[in-house]
């Protein structure tokens, strides 16, 4: 067999070397890129963005229904490609669940915790320890103290709201909160408006200037787990508002609930 190298062999060898060189450069470039840029946002372990003026990292296994300013509203399709999210992307809403009694967030990767969550909710007991949290920010929050606006509007409804949504302050506070309830009697049923199936009691906490800083609405329905919705802020430095949903049987723990929710929302702040 001859060991002579023909011109055709030289050309093939040259092309082979060029291919290896180009392929090596391509691999080097790809490996030097962050995974997020090369493979897309879906592989990122966290949702990132600006939450009330602060950069945040929110693990995808802890939060859900994350939306940003400019996203289509529920039920509408996105008209443009989904933008790459950065720490400047304004988050306008997201949610999470937690068990306030031991300060544990629902982790969707934890099978035992998911099982406990499903079991507790299926039992539908009054003292269910789970709290469902919704956080609004970005273009959803347009005033400095949204909770005061919500509370003031509730206590001063329009005439069209009807007597079941009118409120008078009761003589006695409860759990350190002002208490408001619908006054008077329903002429049709001859029962207090407060016993109407749509009636709610309202609980208010104010600061030293009279501004409402915690606003709680609780159903008066005779059901195993009458719902309460608690509204509060994180202070003037954070442009966001928070809603916590829980059983009225846990209303006495409203301060503890607010504290643990605050802790977790503040814990999403980017640390490095």
Residue-wise pLDDT for 114-152, tens only, equals: 999 999 999 989 999 999 999 999 999 988 889 999 999
Q: Six-digit token pair at 61? A: 């296994």
Give mean pLDDT, residues 61-83. 87
* Residue in 195, 204, 196, 194 with CA at minimum distance from that of residue 156: 204
- Range of lowest pLDDT (9-23, 48-62, 174-188, 189-203): 9-23
Distance CA 63, CA 108 (A): 9
| Prediction pTM value | 0.82
Query: What is the structure's pLDDT at 39?
Result: 42
* For residues 55-62, average pLDDT: 96
Q: Which helix (H) or strand (E) holds 252?
A: none
pLDDT digit string, tens, across residues 246-264 = 999 999 999 999 999 999 9
Q: Let me know: does 227 contact 188? Beta carbons within 8 Å.
A: no
* Inter-residue contact 240 to 133 (CB < 8 Å): no
> Would you state the pLDDT for residue 51?
96
Find the Cα–Cα–Cα–Cα dihedral 104, 108, 110, 111, rounded to 10°. 120
Q: Write down the domain spans for the chain.
A: 7-32, 46-267
Reported as a single tens digit per residue, the pLDDT across 183-210 is 999 999 999 999 999 999 999 999 999 9
Closest CA to 100 of 238, 244, 216: 244
Alpha-carbon distance 47 to 12, whole Å?
49
Q: What is the pLDDT of residue 92?
A: 94
With a cut of 60, say whether residue 31 has pLDDT above it. Answer: no
Note the pLDDT of residue 76. Answer: 79
Contacts of 141 (CB under 8 A, 6+ apart): 52, 239, 240, 241
pLDDT at 43: 57
pLDDT at 37: 39
| Length reported for the chain | 272
Q: How far apart are CA 233 and CA 175, in angstroms?
A: 19
């Amino acid at each position: 067999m001859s060991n002579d190298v023909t011109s055709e062999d030289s050309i093939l060898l040259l092309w082979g070397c060029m291919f290896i060189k180009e392929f090596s450069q391509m691999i080097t470039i790809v490996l030097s890129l962050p995974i997020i840029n090369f493979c897309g946002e879906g592989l990122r372990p966290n949702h990132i963005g600006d939450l009330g003026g602060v950069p945040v990292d929110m693990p995808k296994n802890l939060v859900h229904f994350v939306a940003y300013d400019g996203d289509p509203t529920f039920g509408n399709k996105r008209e443009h490609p989904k933008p790459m999210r950065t720490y400047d992307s304004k988050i306008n809403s997201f949610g999470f669940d937690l068990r306030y009694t031991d300060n544990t967030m629902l982790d969707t990767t934890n099978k035992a915790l998911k099982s406990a969550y499903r079991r507790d909710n299926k039992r539908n007991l009054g003292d269910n320890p789970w709290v469902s949290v919704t956080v609004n920010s970005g273009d959803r929050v347009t005033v400095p103290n949204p909770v005061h606006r919500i509370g003031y509007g509730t206590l001063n409804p329009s005439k069209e709201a009807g007597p079941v949504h009118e409120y008078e302050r009761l003589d006695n506070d409860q759990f350190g909160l002002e208490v408001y309830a619908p006054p008077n009697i329903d002429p049709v049923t001859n029962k207090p408006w407060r016993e109407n199936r749509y009636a709610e009691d309202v609980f208010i906490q104010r600061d030293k200037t009279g501004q409402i800083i915690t606003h709680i609405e609780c159903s008066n329905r005779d059901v195993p787990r009458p719902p309460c919705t608690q509204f509060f802020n994180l202070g003037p430095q954070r442009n966001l508002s928070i809603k916590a949903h829980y059983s009225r049987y846990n209303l006495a723990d409203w301060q503890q609930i607010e504290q643990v929710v605050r802790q977790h929302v503040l814990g999403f702040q980017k640390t490095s």
